[in-house]
Amino acid sequence: MILLDGKKISDEITERLKDEIQGDIDTPGLAVILIGSRRDSIKYIEAKRKVCRELGMRFRLFHLLENCEQNMIIRNIKELNNNPTINGIIVQLPLPDGFKTKKILDTIHPSKDVDGFHMINGGNLFLNRNPDFIPCTPLGCMELIDHYGIDVEGLNVCVIGCSNVVGLPLSMLLQQRNATVTMCHIYTRDLKEHTLRTDMIFSCCGVAKIVKEDMVKEGVIIVDVGINFIDGRIVGDVDFENVKDKCSYITPVPGGVGPMTIAMLMKQTIQSWKKKKEL
């Protein structure tokens, strides 16, 4: 069993990104909009702020109250669209109830949509037309398996979870590499039936330890995207301790996909910055 060490790989990516912007006075800028005060959202934002600081990038946080008007969020985004010092804009998800997530995300200009959630970038991804940006978690998954030389062409791959943020874009990236993809979700009648016959599992449904030892075959490759909390501990969607010995490769949680997601956010923000400098 080989651990897919996202922390190690993300650190290597961060070092390379440092070299790309080192010595430039006009450093890349990332803006994050947070609505409300979810503890997990604040924790994720602090992790992003930390990596920005390590890279020497500008970081701006706009923290709005949960009862703010949606128009205020949209005004903030439009101002950031026109701000030449900001190269990437993200809205921390999930939003509190009552906000129109799609409308808010589509207000971000596609050229600054470094989370890859704008309908133009999403549409280009699904049509295989080279989107400017790809959702960071799926992109991080692909970069991680690439580093370890895992070729998905011809593999039977099961993706558990069909969100617009992870599962759906991930399935498209895998299909574009000629994997045979099975999508499973809350309405799947017999998850075990699908996971037992698959060569590779990406679990991104957010259900702690849903993937058990008797659900996977010997030699399976598992990428666990899940972040769940049990008794104050972070665990994935996979029952890691009982499943790991059947795997050829598996990600730990934490330390697997999470750091790769942040690394991809920084990579795409710097990509946006470099594109602006070329104009």
- State the SS3 of the chain: CEECCHHHHHHHHHHHHHHHHCCCCCCCEEEEEEECCCHHHHHHHHHHHHHHHHHCCEEEEEEECCCCCHHHHHHHHHHHHCCCCCCEEEECCCCCCCCCHHHHHCCCCHHHCCCCCCHHHHHHHHCCCCCCCCCHHHHHHHHHHHHCCCCCCCCEEEEECCCCCCHHHHHHHHHCCCCEEEEECCCCCCHHHHHCCCCEEEECCCCCCCECHHHCCCCEEEEECCCEEECCEEECCECHHHHHHHEEEECCCCCCHHHHHHHHHHHHHHHHHHHHHHC
How far is CA 215 from each of CA 31, 268, 279, rounded to the nearest angstrom?
A: 42, 36, 52
Give the pLDDT of the chain (279 residues) as one tens digit per residue: 999 999 999 999 999 999 999 878 899 999 999 999 998 899 999 999 999 999 999 999 999 999 999 999 999 999 999 999 999 999 999 999 999 999 999 999 999 999 999 999 999 999 999 999 999 999 999 999 999 999 999 999 999 999 999 999 999 999 999 999 999 999 999 999 999 999 999 999 999 999 999 999 999 999 999 999 888 888 999 999 999 999 999 999 999 999 999 999 999 999 999 998 887
- Confidence (pLDDT) at 79: 97
Residue range(s) occupied by CATH 3.40.50.10860 in the chain? 27-111
Measured distance CA(52)–CA(255) in Å, rounded: 19
CATH 1.10.1060.10 matches 136-258:
no
pLDDT for 205 equals 95
CATH 3.40.50.720 placement within the chain = 136-258
27-111 CATH choice from 3.20.20.70, 3.40.50.10860, 3.90.1170.50, 2.70.150.10: 3.40.50.10860
Return the active site residues. Answer: 48, 92, 115
Phi, psi of 198 (to 5 degrees): -100, 150
Report how far residue 266's alpha carbon sits from residue 7's, in angstroms, rounded to the nearest whole number: 15
pLDDT of residue 276: 87
pLDDT of residue 13: 97
